[in-house]
Structure 1
Amino acid sequence: MALRALTKKDFLTIGEVAARTGLSVSAIRFYEEKGLVQSLRTSGNQRRFLRSDIRRLSFILIAQNLGLALAEIEDELGKLPQGRNPTARDWAKISTSIRKQLDARIALLERTRDRLDGCIGCGCLSMKKCQLYNKDDRAGDGGSGPRHILS
């Protein structure tokens, strides 16, 4: 596949990217500082972003809404090409990875939801004293924290 020469219309100012993504200019600068997007500089030292960066920034917003940490987002974006729009195949790789993370989080949330009423209801809030979920502190052998929910 031959690469075509980029033209002026392939680039957007930071303000145009902000308008297209709904992000603030300072947020875009932050993501650039973290290496999640890259800008080119004009001779006047103004930032110019590729149009494909709109997708990268939109992905960041979606991933954050799904509960991914910035480090996780960075790992996933590292799988995408810089300087071109991701293909369906590129996105499929990321989707598979994120799906596993989401499934694990959903399972944790469901366990928490299913056990929450009983735990809150007893009022002890102590893994050592809870007679419902941890009679005789059996869970203490498995480590600290809410073992029945985390495991």
Structure 2
Amino acid sequence: MDTDSYIAFLVVSTMLVVVDAVIITVSGRKYLGDDDHPGLSTAASWLTTTLFSLIVLGLVALVSTVDLPVDGDLQKLVTKLGIVLLLLAIAHAITMTVLARYRGAERQEHFVDELAHQGRQRSNKPQVTQSIERDEPYSTL
């Protein structure tokens, strides 16, 4: 691979990673959107995107040094870009799985908090049932 092809590979691959990272950041914030704690979804999205970017850029650097048994510089460039696209797709899928797990944990925690709040509200009110003999309410306490 000559120098121009090598630089073209690095530029195109880096741009693909940056575009995907922006998509993950923006969509991740909306996907994780928590009205009660908006800062948490933003922080989780940024942390996940940063990890994604570092891993994929590292893979791009490694792929750029691999010598492929393909004839011609253009074919090597296309083959390496194909490998980067596949790695990018795998990394994107893993990142979406991480975001989905985080969202599920957040929703579960929110649900538990709601149940606890409802339980506290119910325990403050006396429970009343119908009297069997007189057909009127009486307190069970």
- For Structure 1 versus Structure 2, the TM-score category normalised by the shorter chain is 0.3 to 0.5
TM-score normalised according to structure 2 size: 0.39
Larger radius of gyration: 2
TM-score, L = length of structure 1: 0.37
Structure holding more helix per residue:
2
Q: Which has the higher contact order (CA 8 A, sep 6+)?
A: 2
